[in-house]
Amino acid sequence: MRIIYKRKIFFIISGILFLAAIASLSLWGLRLGIDFTGGTIAEYTFKNNRPQVFEVRDVLSKEGIEDLQAQLAGSQEIILRAKTLSEEEHQKIVAALGKGFGAEQLVENKFESIGPVVGNELKNKAITALILASILIILYIAFAFRKVSRSVQSWKYGLGAIIALIHDLTIVTGIFAVLGHFWGYEVDAFFVTSLLTVLGYSVNDTIVVYDRTRENLFRSAGENFEETVNRSVNETMARSINTTLTTLLTLIFLYFFGGETIRIFVLSLMLGIFFGAYSSLFVASPLLVVWQKLGGRKK
């Protein structure tokens, strides 16, 4: 497949997705959950049969109580998380649960306000850590690829991996801005965890493709750089597709059967892994050829 020779098509697709993600984040931003904003947490014990999360949500929804996160805890407990609630709203929840499942078997363990789990200090530290990690990735890859820097300077391999990473994370967060605006999807601490996981996956997948390029540069003295990169992408494509598909199949089952509490986490992982595989093949590698041709023109 002449993937590298058709790189303009893939750059246009990525550019459109990237700009759309930036626009959605600028217009709507992310819909933050109580892990970021703070709110109210309530814990209830059911003496006999504990209902499922969807049953609790259905009962509360019938009483007009929305925007609650419910999760199972322990053997008989259910935890509810919501924005800051008044005492009137509190009593409304207790009444709805008692009406739906029987007041005699319901025990309220706690009802209290909590601050944000992900505060400004933690967010600032996460950004700092991400910047430092990006710099270290570039330096390490520059060292690892120092022997193939004749066509493209070795540090540009690291820069290509970081650009692909930014591409993936921006598109995923942009999609969640759309989902939050139109369908009420909220991001929480699990979403941050999924982005960090996507970060590692994206860089790893890009390095696998780059490493094959490095091997082929030593073996194929007669090929030009563009031909070598194109062959390397084709040789690693089957591996990338197989790895991505098997991972996505597992995540799809988790999304539908893993429960409400991890659904955002799993969805963001699915999106991130898909775009991570895409960017490794169709963004990061073509960038090497662009830089090589620009360097040749300057010379």
Mean pLDDT, rounded, for 77-90? 86
- Residue 65 is predicted with a pLDDT of 82
Residues 27, 51, single domain; the answer is no
Torsion of CA 100, 105, 110, 116, to 10 degrees: -40
Residues 222, 262, single domain; the answer is yes
Residue 82: what are its φ and ψ, rounded to 5°? Answer: -155, 170
Give CA–CA dist 16/10, Å, rounded: 10
**Sheet order of strands, 106-114 included:** 69-73, 77-82, 39-46, 106-114
- Residue 281 is predicted with a pLDDT of 94
Q: What is the pLDDT of residues 4-40, one digit of tens each?
A: 999 999 999 999 999 999 999 999 999 888 878 888 8
Q: What is the pLDDT of residues 135-175, one digit of tens each?
A: 888 888 888 888 887 788 889 999 999 999 999 999 999 99
Mean pLDDT over the full length of the chain: 88
Q: What is the pLDDT of residues 165-212, one digit of tens each?
A: 999 999 999 999 999 999 888 888 888 889 888 988 889 999 999 999
- Domain boundary among the residues 99, 114, 129 is at 114
Stated pTM of the model = 0.85
Residues 82, 12, single domain; the answer is no
pLDDT at 296 over 80: no
Mean pLDDT, rounded, for 105-129? 79
pLDDT at 43 over 70: yes
What CATH number does residue 86 fall under? 3.30.70.3400
pLDDT at 298 over 60: no
Residues 133, 248, single domain; the answer is yes
Q: What is the pLDDT of residues 85-112, one digit of tens each?
A: 888 888 999 999 998 898 888 999 988 8
Separation in Å, CA 136 to CA 5, 100, 157, 262, 264: 31, 55, 13, 31, 30
Q: In terms of Cα–Cα distance, which of 64, 52, 6, 13 is closest to 167? A: 13
Residues 90, 195, single domain; the answer is no
Give CA–CA dist 232/280, Å, rounded: 12
- Domain boundary among the residues 114, 139, 159 is at 114
Residues 95, 45, single domain; the answer is yes
- Residue 126 is predicted with a pLDDT of 73
Residues 249, 223, single domain; the answer is yes
What CATH number does residue 153 fall under? 1.20.1640.10
The residue among 272 and 147 whose pLDDT is bigger is: 272
Helix, strand, coil % over all residues of the chain, rounded to 5: 75, 10, 15
Give CA–CA dist 259/240, Å, rounded: 28
Residues 124, 268, single domain; the answer is yes
Full residue range of the structural domain in which residue 64 is found: 39-114
Give how many domains the chain has, as a whole number. 2
Residues 56, 203, single domain; the answer is no
Mean pLDDT, rounded, for 71-80? 86
Separation in Å, CA 177 to CA 23, 25, 74, 133, 149: 10, 6, 33, 25, 40
- Residue 280 is predicted with a pLDDT of 94
Give CA–CA dist 104/157, Å, rounded: 65
Residues 13, 124, single domain; the answer is yes
- Domain boundary among the residues 73, 96, 114 is at 114
Percent of the chain with pLDDT over 70: 97
